Amino acid sequence: MNNYTPWSVDEIAKYVAQDIQEGMYVNLGIGQPTKVADFLPDDKDIFLHSENGVLGMGPEPTAGEEDGDLINAGKQYITLLKGGSYFHHGDSFTMIRGGHIDLCVLGAFEVAENGDIANWFLGRPKDIPAVGGAMDLAVG
């Protein structure tokens, strides 16, 4: 019997956040990767990106302060930091494909020995399986 205890979502997010350096442009994928934002230090300039066309995401809004025009790719409400912007998702993918994002944090069902990932389904009721931006983010 092994003594392995799996990490919690928060433990994984905290560990990932420690590797993000000052000045990086970072895409946080849908689902668990968004938790990384909760563990980023306040004293570093880190620019959070979402492939639906947002750069400069801030913390989750407080209850009652949600803005239906400000959501991330996972359809979660977000805020914008001073200087943040939103734009067409085509421009967002141009940023990704053009190598203008320093780091992306993706979730995956499985990761093969060679690094191939399987992450195309969120498992939410009524959702259809969809690859979304993962292919572009993994390559870009």
Could you tell me which residues come within 8 angstroms of residue 30 by beta carbon, excluding any fewer than 6 positions away?
72, 73, 74, 107, 122, 132
- 51 a catalytic residue: yes
Residue 114 Ramachandran class (φ > 0 left, ψ -120 to 50 alpha, else beta): alpha
Which of 15, 25, 90 minimizes the C-alpha distance to 56?
25
Neighbours of 114 (CB within 10 A): 5
Instruction: Check 11, 22, 51, 60 and give the catalytic one.
Output: 51
| Residues involved in catalysis | 51
